Amino acid sequence: MRALLPVLLLLLAVMLAAAGCTATTPGAPQNVTASPSGTVTVAIHPDITRYTVLMSSAPGIGLSPTITGPLPAVNLSYVWKTDYGHFLGWSAPDYKVREQGMTVTGNATKVYWTYLYENENASRPPVHITLDVIDPATGVTLGNAELTIGWDANNTAVIG
């Protein structure tokens, strides 16, 4: 059993190196959609463009809204949805990772998307993430955006 331990540690190190735990540049905002009035534009801006749950540098792909145009003088409400995986919260002051499910509603201006690493050989579907920005005073949707995540041969989530 003691002779097996170095082999297992070496195998683990190789798997982590193969996971590509390297920094990637932030992606460009994806699938920009204007509101019906054409005055507010919403986009989803990913922090990174490649992610695997084996990465230790981030709990998921950080997603932030980019909103341009005249906005009401109120705190906006955000509705984030995904059809695969789930969202996490991770912020100051304690930087604890918090499970948030497949839909996040409220004033969360940044969420992290991740997935369960159940079966490394399993085929994963394309991921569709949507964001609706709502004026909470009127309930009117000011704008929305969508982001699509695909997969490479190593089960790495890829944007773009």
| Residue 38 in domain | yes
pTM for the structure as a whole? 0.76
The mean-pLDDT minimum among 23-27, 62-66, 126-130 falls in 23-27
Cα distances from 55 to residues 18, 46, 58, 125, in angstroms, run 10, 16, 7, 20
Nearest to 63 by CA among 42, 84, 75, 48: 48
Q: Domain count of the chain?
A: 1
pLDDT digits (tens, 9 = 90+) for 37-92: 557 899 999 999 999 988 888 899 999 999 999 888 778 999 999 999 999 998 88
Which residue range forms the structural domain that includes residue 50?
Answer: 23-159
* Residue 40 lies inside a defined structural domain of this protein: yes
Mean pLDDT of 92-98: 89
* Listed residue (100, 153, 149) closest to 128, CA to CA: 149
- Alpha helices, DSSP H, located in the chain: 4-18
